[in-house]
Amino acid sequence: MKSIYDIRRFNAQLLCEYSGTMAEFAHRIQRAQTQVSRLIGKNPTRNIGEKLARHIEASFQLPEHWLDHQHHRGLDSLETSLRNYLLRQDKYLKLHGYVDRITLSIELNQVDDKTFVQLQEIADHLENDNVFD
């Protein structure tokens, strides 16, 4: 069974490949390339600890503890997973923007009958699809 350090190293190596080069990975996580080499190079001599693992995740905008779980076997599956994650994150942010605009329009009494009917249809659709269950 792989240790947490082996899993973190493997995931960090995939993120390094995803970044292009070790220098680009080091720059992205704000560490010296020699330090990165000791962590994920050909002959690593140091482990990725808790604090650094969370920092790497934040540098790639990944959820906390993402680095601690084996998700991928190679770079192709990592790229697909990251792309899907970033698309979901982008949709999430856009939806919050829409909700903020709708809320402001309601507060300013700017929702006309047509817009109200459209919002009602969206709410009914979500309820009928059991989104709230």
Which residue has better confidence, 127 or 38? 38
Count Cβ atoms below 10 Å from residue 12 Cβ, excluding itself.
Answer: 22
pTM of the complete model: 0.60
The answer for residues whose C-beta is within 8 angstroms of residue 57's C-beta and 6 or more apart is 63, 64, 65, 66, 67
Scanning the structure block, which residue is given the tokens 């269950």?
133
Going from N- to C-terminal start, the domains of the chain cover: 4-71, 83-128
Amino acid residing at 39? L
The pLDDT tens digits of the residues spanning 42-68 come to 999 999 999 999 999 999 888 889 899
Q: How far apart are CA 1 and CA 38, in angstroms?
A: 23
